[in-house]
Amino acid sequence: MKVKKVKKKLKKKNAPIIKYTSLNGWSFKKDHVNTWAWAKNVFSPEECQKIIDIGNSLNPTGGRIQGEKNIETTNDTIRKSLVSWVGPNQNTNWIFIRLQKIVEKLNNDFFKFHITGINEGLQFTKYKAPGGHYDKHFDKMWDGVIRKLSLTIQLTDPSKYEGGDLEIFQSHEPLKMEKEQGMAILFPSYVLHGVTPITKGVRYSLVGWFTGDPFK
């Protein structure tokens, strides 16, 4: 009788420990030091297009940054994008309810922060070629509000644009996030991140911040 040898797969040294779970057909993943987590299939392609239509119906302004003495200003060399604010109403409540569920799940499983919800509305962002980008930055506070978790929804089919990568800096080297349409990416607002210049097409995203008491 032949004995079949089973080859053991060797673990890579310092390989990330990945945890998976599921909820309502969503799939989740996180990295090994709780720097970020993502959930796929949060919104369908049809729902993403519906959100894009809602965002494009609003009046956009240039993306703003905090300048000296915390005064808001625009600076295309640091941030080049168009943004609109989406608030809760009868046409958008379904978006807020969906995001509340997904963030509660990811936060309870991975981050365990005390959060109170979104109190700034959602930011619909348009990065278009050539050169739409956002240099690396932190989100942790804006106008006295303590942001604890930052959320990005990838709204655009990744085949429709080039560049425009969301990058998270775990160390000196950035980690590019996946671009799958309808996925949510969640990370602590004190983590350094940015969006690389877009070279072709348009990238739409929906961004929100979950706030709470100051970290202790």
pLDDT tens per residue across span 108-122:
988 999 999 998 899
Residue 139, number of CB atoms within 10 A of its CB: 19
How would residue 7 be classed by pLDDT, with cut points 50, 70 and 90?
very low
What is the model's pLDDT at position 25? 58
Domain assignments of the chain as residue spans, ordered by start:
22-64+75-211
What is the model's pLDDT at position 34? 66
Mean pLDDT of the chain: 85
Q: Which CATH number fits domain 22-64+75-211: 3.40.50.720, 3.40.50.12500, 2.60.120.620, 3.20.20.70?
A: 2.60.120.620
The answer to which of 19-23, 82-86, 100-104, 147-151 has the lowest mean pLDDT is 19-23
CA dihedral 166, 127, 42, 90 (to 10 degrees): 140
pTM of the predicted protein model: 0.84
Tell me which of 166 and 170 has the higher pLDDT.
166
What is the model's pLDDT at position 31? 63
Residue 71, number of CB atoms within 10 A of its CB: 9
Residue 213, H or E segment: none
**What is the per-residue pLDDT across 64-84, written as a single tens digit (0 to 9) for each?**
887 665 677 888 899 999 999
Contact 185, 48 (CB under 8 A): no
Contact 74, 64 (CB under 8 A): yes
d(Cα 66, Cα 198) in Å, to the nearest integer? 23
What is the model's pLDDT at position 12? 41
CA dihedral 21, 188, 126, 43 (to 10 degrees): 20
Tell me which of 216 and 61 has the higher pLDDT.
61
pLDDT at position 104 over 50: yes
| Tokens encoding 147 | 């942001």
